[in-house]
Structure 1
Amino acid sequence: MSTRYLESLFNPESIVVVGASERPGNLGGIVLGNLLDGKFPGRLAVVNRKGYKRVYGVACQAKISDLGFVPDLAIVCTPPITVPRVIRRLGEQGVRTAIVMTGGMSRTHSKSGKPLMYSVRDAARKTGLRVLGPNTIGLMVPGRRLNATYAHMNALPGRVAFVGQSGTIASSVIDWAVARGVGFSYFLTLGDGMDIGHEDLIDYLAQDTQTRAILLHMENIPNPGGFMSAVRVASRTKPVIAVKSGRVPESEWVPHVLPAGLKRSDPIYDAMLKRAGVLRVDGLGQMFDALETLTRMRPLRRESLAIMANGVGPGVMAVDRLADLGGEMAELSEQSISSLAEILPPYWTRKNPIDLNYDATPEIYAQAVKILAKDRNVANLLVMYAPTLTGNSLEIANAVVEAARGTQLNVFTCWLGQSTVMDSRDAFYKAGVPSFFNPEKAVMAFMQHVRHQRVQRLLTETPESFTDHFADHSGTRELVTRALKQKRRYLTNQEARRVVQEYGLSTLNTLYCDDVEEVLQVFSIDRRPVDITILHQEVCHPFMDLTPAQCRYKGTVKKVNSEQAIIDGCRFLMDEYLKHFPDSGFLGFSVQHSYQHIGGIEFSVGITRDETYGPLVVCGAAGAQINIMSDRQIALPPLNMVLARELLGRTYMYKLLEEYSLRPEEDIRAVCETLVTLSQIAIDMPEIRGLEISPLLFNDNGAVAVNVAIDLDEKPGQPIIQPYPRELEERVVLPKSGREVIIRPVLAEDEPAHRAFHEHQSPESIRYRFFQYRKHFSHEDVAQMVQIDYDREMVFIANAQREDGQGEETLGTVRTWTDADNLRCEFAVMVDDRMKGEGLGIRLMQKMIEYCRARGTVEMVGDVLPDNLPMLQLAEHLGFEIKYNNEEDVMDLRLVLNEPTSQWQKERLQRKA
């Protein structure tokens, strides 16, 4: 994950095309032609071992070493077997970036037997050369007249970046975009992605001021951790829209080894993109439709939609599509209905959708828009028009644009037809109003906007505190360690119950017996009906993949109420066990009293692990196998209560819980608490490969785990989203007041205390921290401060018990933002005005310096107002270099944490200095 040398890729001043010739169909010749046709303003050269003097008028050399200069970018179009050698020589000559367009390298092998693309990667790494590809269409930067591709046409300049994976898909995207007037800031494909990956490009584009939105086409994500970290940062500042192809096993280019409990890999990608704040769409058409609404419409104040058209039919079609997609119709106010009645025929329906009648004039359209603009219930309006003999399409379009101008309405349009409405669509495009060809596409694009806003909202929701991040779970650690030492890859049923109990989950009271005689002894104590389950090694593993015959296996007998029934029941269970699982070691029986006052809707929840994407939390229906698989939803840990409820809300069982539970809110909360706990288990105990609770039922105290199964793996599974770093917590005692303070990383749940901390500071302290006076901090402001990616940011807070004993308060905070290359971090620190003289500021700064130094960050920088003398004194004490910045009128602070380890790091730091 690095933006190293990407500036040379995206903004080269000189380019060499290796392998170009004037032979018809020559790949390098095509690329060189595109560079010339695009009028690339920099220096061009060609290398071809056949020793041409010129290729299409561009000077050619036989060897790379004969160029006489070091180009910023090399484009390699030579046969596959030659590419590793070419890459090595380019790196040795000091070239920083290369685009390898040669295809087939994943299917052409070297002498070692590995595909040649790995040889390209290894050759590049030896010299630090960055490589885009192999098998890439290349790169376009239209605003800089750079077309380094073999595409059949040039892209228009614009402010949208496209990062694809397939060259053929990319070619069609260019064609599509030109036809729709969509321009690009950058346009490229990764190809095999041996070096430069999605995460590198997203990091670069997130910081690029010329890029307003990022479009992604992906077939796979080789580095999911880096991808998640990069895209979560990018999606907070600009829309990221993704198409992920290969949704079913038949279309996967590289078959995905599925984790236990899942039948398809696509839900994993869905969970990733949703968690990252990315809008996932089903195809290229939806991608560009969503781009229309996301870049041309304001953020939605409401999610409901008002619809009007010059006829009933289009409105009905739009409403049907809205209902299919789970949308909501806006309810018109009485004032709007009365006002519309004055301009519409007496027989109009007096409700949404609004039928303006087939003969509606531009004035009628304009008046209706203005009436709805005054309605507080209406925030979004779809205006439709079907061609008629009496109407003028362009005049009506202009009237709608003019009426909507200056209002708070989000207006988008659907002008049905083709030949007679094209000028109207052009008028909407020029006015920045999204316009679509049919009602279904218009409503789908609107709902994409709704979906994007929902996933964005998940990034800033304030979760309530539930999981105890500071609890001790040494008992579980001992159980897991002992089992692995015994070479067991599972925990027994009894051990699995102890694990979830230690994490605070309730389980059904269960007794364990080695044989039938012990079962009889248990029954004889109070002679109440019991349920008996046979235990063996196979059923200790979660998410069992049963054969059709094993699906008929009966492992439990219920409501047994006599000695003879117990003997017969245990004999039956032994027969079933030996019939279906003859090779599975016998482990005894579990006995539960039949009536323990639990019941209700049955859930199946747990943890599974993907080899690439790490642990996953699953939730859905329990019961028949077909119900479980069709309803199972997944999410990435770590979870909080907001994310857990979103996961639960995707299941069919959630709807049943809402409708049929006697205590829906209590039961919903109980399931969410269980999901958050499972997430914490996955993080705390990475050797747990899978955990299944099935069923999860309910009693008066919450959720109850009836059956629990856990299996293990010596190789720990790490989540792709960095969890809360508990190891960084420490407690200190303030020397002046004697108060005990815990210094720890910030949590999303800290938002209320964090807001109170900022709002209680003096105006001067606020000015020193934010370089301006601020009285109030919005939810969005503070959410950005506390909901961080621990891989990119770090915030340490100092919390202590309030003096009135009512919970904790925040007394100080220090934060750093680190660039994608871990070269430089920018810091900011603030301490409560009441803490003067306690040394809390220096303690927070020392902790942050220690942390950044340990993670290999090269230097720490910050800006301080010239009159902020306490901070300047602190910085001097800590060894910062302090310089006055005349342009910004601030003091620049710089502290070297580690020495640069490579030349590119030195160059980057010098350029930023």
Structure 2
Amino acid sequence: MSTRYLESLFNPDSIVVIGASERSDNLGGMVLRNLLGGGYAGRLLVINRNQYDNVHGVPCVRKVSQMPEKTDLAIVCTPPETVPKMVRKLGEAGVRTAIVMTGGMSRSHSKTGQPLMYSVRKAARDSGIRVLGPNTIGLMVPARKLNATYAHMGAIPGKVAFIGQSGTIASSILDWAFARGVGFSYFLTLGDGMDIDHDDLIDYLAQDSSTRAILLHLEHIPNPRRFMSAVRVASRTKPVIAVKSGRVPESEWMPHVLPVGLTQSDPIYDAMLQRAGVLRVDGLGQMFDALETLTRMRTLRKEGLAIIANGVGPGVLAVDRLAALEGELSQFSEDTITELADHLPRYWTRKNPVDLGYDASPELYARAVKILAKDTQITNLLVMYAPTLTEDSLQIADAVVQAARGTRLNVFTCWLGQSTVMDARDEFYRAGVPSFFNPEKAVTAFMQHVRHQRVQRLLTETPESFTDHLADRSHTRRLVTEALRDRRYCLTNQESREVIREYGINTIDTIYCDDVEEVLEAFAVERRPIDITLIHEQSCVPLVALSPGQRRYKGTVQKLNSEGAIIDSCRFLMEEYQKHYPDSGFLGFAIQRSYQHVGGIEFSVGITRDELFGPLVVCGAAGAQINVLSDRQIALPPLNMVLARELLRRTYMYKLLNEHSLKPEEDIRAVAETLVTLSQIVIDIPEIRGLEILPLLFNDDGAVAVNVAIDLSDKPGKPIIQAYPRELEEWIVLPKSGRRVIIRPVLAEDEPAHRAFHELQSPESIRYRFFQYRKHFSREDVAQMVQIDYDREMVFIANAPREDAEGEETLGTVRTWTDADNLRCEFAVMVHDNMKGEGLGVALMQKMIDYCRAKGTVEMVGNVLPDNVPMLRLAEHLGFETRYNAEEDVIDLLLILNEPEKDWQRERLDQGSH
């Protein structure tokens, strides 16, 4: 992941086009004509082995070695077999970036038998050049009049960046966007993406002030961990909207090897994009509809929708679509109903949606908008109009715009029809009011806004504390290590129970017997009804699904209360086992007392592992009459209670739990706790490849696991989201007070203590930290501080037990933000006013310096107000260089952590920017 040299790609002072000629069908010639036609103001040069003096008036040389000056960007349009050597020559000549437009390189092969695109990647890495492509449409930066593509038309300047993978899709989007008046800050496709990838570009665009929203067209994601890290940063500051094609195996660009227990890969992408704060839409039309609402509407304070129209039909269509998307109608207050009644016919329904009548005038539309704006229960309003003979659509549009102006309502419109309402739509566009062609598109776009806010909310939700990060699980670690040492890749049923029990998951008391005689002996001791399960090798493998049409295997018989019944049942279980699993070794019987749990609602929960996405937490229905796979939902670890509840909420069984459980909230919490625990297990023990609890039921103590299966892998599975780095926890004793303090990475659960820490600080301390006085910190403000991506950001907090109450209090905090290339990190530190003189600031800063140095970061920088004498003393003590910045009126601090290893790193650090 790197933004190295991307400034040369997006902002080149000079461009060389390789392979351009004046033939009408020549690819390089098309690109050159677009560069000239777009008005690019930088230096242009052509390289063509034919001895042209110029091509379309641009000077031409025969070889890379004949370039008269160093060039920022090369555009390669030569035959596939020439490209790897050309890329290498360009890199050796000092060209920083190249766009390889040549196609077919995934199908053309080198002498080694590999596709040529991999030779391009090797040439780029060896010579240090960055490459966009091969097989890319190219790049547009409209504000710079840069059209380095072979597209049939240019893009208009705007605030939206588009990153695609398919050139043909990109061409259609240009047409689509132009017709809607959508402009772009950047427009490009990755093609084969051999070097520059989504994550590199997203990192660059996240910092770009000219980009307000990012649109993605995804076919595959080669490195989900890097992608996730980049997009989570970007989505916190600007909307990211994605279309992911290849939803079903038949349409996947690259076949995806499915993890055990799943039938499609698309839900994995769904879970990843949602976790990253990205709005996923179903197609290109929805992408631009969502862009309308996300960039032209304010934040939704409530999710309800009010609807007004000049007829019943449009309102009914809108409500149908809203219900299908699980949206909600706003409820009108009595005052609103009474005031509307003064202006509407007596027969109106007195509820939402509002029928203004076929002959509704501009004045009536305006009056209705103003009445609804006064209702505190209404924040979002869809205004619809169908053409009539009695009124002018443009006048009504103008009346709606004027009435909505200055109100707190989020107003969007739907002017049905085409030829007679285009002027009205243009009026809405000029006024910044989203407008749509039909009720279904309008409501869908609104619900996209709702969904986006929901996924954004998940990024800032503060979960309740649950997982015990300090518990000793050495027995489980030893058990797994010994199994792998013996080349045993499935734990026994008994070992699997021990694993989850050590993590606090309740299990049913179980006795293991080798044969029927031992079962009878156990029953003689119990003398109460028992359940018997036959254990064999295959039953110890998690998430095994039956083949289509296969008769369901019965491995358990319940409620046996006599020796005769036990003998018959054991014989029956043996017959079932030999019929279904004749090659699976017999391991004995498991005996459980009947009625240890209250049955009813059964869950299947567990862990599976994907080759690309790593461990996944799964949750869904279980039971003999249920298709387990149809309800199986996915989430990415690590989970907290908020994310676990969100995973559970997506299952069909969640609805049953709410409707039929005697204690729904307690049971929901119990399942969520189990999901969080499973997430922690796979983080602590990455050698666990799969884990299944089937079923998870409920008793008086909460959730209880009836049966458990765990399998292992020699290769540890790493989550694509970095988990809480427990190894960085450290206890210290403050020298002055002798108080024992833990310095550790921040957790989302620290939000209440973190908020109290900031609100108890003196105004002067707040000014020193935030460069301004602040009296209040909202929950959202502090949630952003504690919900961090440990890949890019690190926060160490100093916590100690409260001296006057239970729980912990925060005494100090230090934070760093690191750029995508790990070159420079910016720090901020703050210590509680009561802790001054305890050396806590030094301890926190030294902890962060050691961490960043070990991570390979080159420089640590910061800004300090000139009158912040304590911080300046601390910086001097730690070895920072100081320099007064007259432009910002601050003291700049710099500490060299590591020496840069490459020239581009030194160059970037010298520039202090992209």
Whether the TM-score (by the shorter chain) exceeds 0.5 is: yes
Measure, in 2, the Cα distance between the counterparts of 1:407 and 1:805: 46
Q: CA deviation at 1:626?
A: 5.7
* Larger mean Cα displacement after TM superposition, 276-285 or 346-355: 346-355
Q: CA deviation at 1:804?
A: 1.7
Using the alignment, how far apart are the partners of 2:748 and 2:397 within structure 1? 46
| Offset at residue 578 of structure 1 (A) | 1.8
Check 1:3–1:104 CA distance in 2 against 1; reply closer, same or farther (3 A cut). same
Task: Tell me if the contact between 2:546 and 2:552 (Cα under 8 Å) persists in the aligned partners.
Answer: no
Deviation, structure 1 residue 583 = 1.3
Letter matched to residue 53 of structure 2:
K
Q: Distance in 2 between matches of 1:535 and 1:63?
A: 72
Distance 2:651 2:554 in 1: 27
Contact 2:384 2:413 in 1 (8 A): yes
For the Cα contact (< 8 Å) 2:606–2:690, is it kept in 1? yes
C-alpha displacement at 1:565, in angstroms?
2.1
**C-alpha distance in 2 between matches for 1:578 and 1:558:** 20
Alpha-carbon distance, 1:648 to partner: 0.4
Task: Return the offset for 1:253.
Answer: 1.5
Q: Which amino acid letter does the alignment assign opposite residue 566 of structure 1? A: I
Percent identity between the aligned chains? 79
Amino acid at match of 1:496: S
Q: Which residues of 2 match residues 484-523 of structure 1 at below 5 A?
A: 484-523=484-523
- Report the alpha carbon displacement of residue 597 of structure 1 after superposing the two structures with TM: 3.6
Q: Which residue of 1 aligns with 2:705?
A: 705
Classify the secondary structure of the residue corresponding to 1:134.
coil
| Aligned twin of 1:690 | 690
| Contact map agreement 1:536 1:587 (CA 8 A) in 2 | yes
Instruction: Note the residue ranges of structure 1 that are not aligned, 5 or more in a row.
Output: none
| 1:802 Cα offset (Å) | 0.6
1:716 aligns with 2:716: yes
- Map 1:292-331; keep pairs closer than 5 Å: 292-331=292-331
In structure 1, what is the Cα distance between the partners aligned to 2:45 and 2:521? 90
Alignment of 1:770-789 (within 5 A): 770-789=770-789
Verify: 1:3 aligned to 2:42, yes or no: no
Asked whether the 8 Å contact 1:750–1:786 carries over to 2, the reply is: yes
Provide the residue aligned with 2:270 in structure 1: 270
1:285 aligns with 2:285: yes
The amino acid that maps onto 1:485 is R
Task: List per-residue Cα deviations over 1:431-467 (Å, max 9, x = no partner).
Answer: 0000000000000000000000000011111100001
Equivalent residues of 1:670, 1:703 under 8 A apart: yes
The answer to whether the Cα contact below 8 Å between 1:549 and 1:580 also exists between their aligned partners in 2 is no
Q: Which amino acid aligns with 1:50?
A: N
1:480 maps to a residue whose letter is V
Contact 1:550 1:580 in 2 (8 A): no
Quote the Cα distance in structure 2 between the aligned partners of 1:105 and 1:141. 26
Give the Cα–Cα distance (whole angstroms) in 2 for the partners of residues 624 and 108 of structure 1.
52
Give the Cα separation in 1 of the matches to 2:335 and 2:164. 50
Report what 1:442 is aligned to.
442
Letter in 1 for 2:895: L
**Structure-2 separation of matches of 1:310 and 1:201:** 46
CA contact (8 A) 1:732 1:740 kept: yes
Which residue identity does 1:108 align to in structure 2? S
- Structure-to-structure mapping, 1:729-878, within 5 angstroms: 729-878=729-878
Structure 1 counterpart of 2:520, which letter?
L
Alignment match, 2:71: 71
> More deviation in 586-595 or 243-252?
586-595
Q: CA shift at 1:600, angstroms? A: 2.6
CA shift, 1:624, in A, is: 4.2
Aligned to 1:672: 672
**Cα deviation, residue 24, structure 1:** 2.5
Aligned to 1:131: 131
5 Å-filtered alignment, 1:561-576, equals 561-576=561-576
Structure 2 counterpart of 1:23? 23
Instruction: For 1:354 and 1:550, locate their aligned partners in 2 and report how far apart those are by CA, in whole Å.
Output: 54
Partner of 1:175: 175
Q: Which residue of 2 aligns with 1:141?
A: 141
Match of 1:479 in 2: 479
Q: What do the CA deviations read for 1:51-72 (whole angstroms, capped 9, x no partner)? A: 2111111111110110111110
Question: Using the alignment, how far apart are the partners of 2:236 and 2:736 within structure 1?
Answer: 41
SS in 1 for 2:136: coil
How is 1:34-53 mapped onto 2 (pairs within 5 angstroms)? 34-53=34-53
In structure 2, how many angstroms separate the alpha carbons of the residues matched to 1:853 and 1:659? Answer: 54
Counterpart for residue 402 of structure 2: 402
> Partners in 2 of 1:51 and 1:606 — Cα distance?
67
Matched with 1:653 is 653
Distance 2:589 2:322 in 1: 54
Deviations 1:472-491 (A, max 9, x none): 11111011011111111110
Instruction: Summarize deviations over 1:413-447 as a string: whole Å, max 9, x none.
Output: 00001000000000000000000000000000000
CA–CA distance in structure 2, aligned partners of residues 395 and 506 of structure 1: 67
Structure 1 Cα separation of the partners of residues 242 and 526 of structure 2: 62
Q: Map of 1:585-624 to 2, 5 A cutoff? A: 585-624=585-624
Going from structure 1 to structure 2, the CA distance change for 1:550 and 1:578 (only over 3 Å counts) comes to: farther
Q: Distance in 2 between matches of 1:894 and 1:552?
A: 67
SS in 2 for 1:519: helix
Q: C-alpha separation between the residues in 2 aligned to 1:550 and 1:507?
A: 30
- Residues 725-746 of structure 1 show CA distances to partners (whole Å, capped at 9, x for unaligned) of 0000010111111111000000
Amino acid at match of 2:437: F
Amino acid at match of 1:275: R
CA contact (8 A) 1:386 1:416 kept: yes
Partner of 1:630: 630
CA drift at 1:21: 0.8
Residue deviations 1:818-842 (CA, integer Å, cap 9, x gap): 0001000000001111112111100
Tell me if structure 2 keeps the 8 A contact 1:164–1:217: yes
* Conserved 8 A contact 2:12-2:42: yes
Is 1:249 aligned to 2:249, yes or no?
A: yes
- Normalized against structure 2, the TM-score is what? 0.99
Structure 1 position 379 matched with structure 2 position 349:
no
Q: Map residues 343-382 of structure 1 onto 2, 5 A cutoff.
A: 343-382=343-382
For the Cα contact (< 8 Å) 1:761–1:832, is it kept in 2? Answer: yes
Partner letter of residue 846 of structure 1? Q
Per-residue deviation at 1:550? 5.3
**1:503 Cα deviation (Å)?**
0.2
Please state how far the C-alpha of 1:340 moved relative to its aligned partner: 1.2
CA deviations over 1:60-113 (Å, ceiling 9, x no partner): 111011011111000000110100000000000000000001111111110001
Rounded Cα–Cα distance in structure 2 between residues aligned with 1:810 and 1:348: 58
Q: How big is the shift at 1:568?
A: 2.1
- In structure 1, what is the equivalent of residue 880 of structure 2? 880
Task: Report the TM-score, using the length of structure 1 for normalisation.
Answer: 0.99
Amino acid in structure 2 at the alignment position of 1:678: L
SS of residue in 2 equivalent to 1:570: helix
Cα offset, 1:617, TM superposition: 0.3
1:229 partner amino acid: S
Mapping of residues 511-590 of structure 1, within 5 Å? 511-548=511-548, 551-590=551-590
Per-residue deviation, 1:504:
0.1
By how many angstroms is 1:569 displaced?
1.7
C-alpha distance in structure 2 between counterparts of 1:530 and 1:520, whole Å: 11
Distance 2:817 2:548 in 1: 54
Asked if 2 retains the 8 angstrom alpha-carbon contact of 1:605 and 1:694, the reply is yes
Quote how far apart the aligned CAs of 1:551 are: 4.0
3-state SS in 2 of match to 1:106: coil
Q: Pick which of 742-751 and 829-838 moved more.
A: 829-838
1:552 positional shift? 2.8
Which runs of 5 or more structure 2 residues have no equivalent in the other structure?
none
CA distance in 1, matches of 2:653, 2:373: 39
SS where residue 451 of structure 1 aligns? helix
Task: Report what 1:14 is aligned to.
Answer: 14
Judge conservation of contact 2:597–2:704 (CA < 8 Å) in 1.
no
Distance 1:549 1:557, change over 3 A: farther
Say which SS state the counterpart of residue 191 (structure 2) adopts: coil
Displacement, 1:548? 4.7
Instruction: Kindly provide the amino acid, as one letter, of the partner of residue 116 in structure 2.
Output: L
Matches within 5 A, 1:197-212: 197-212=197-212
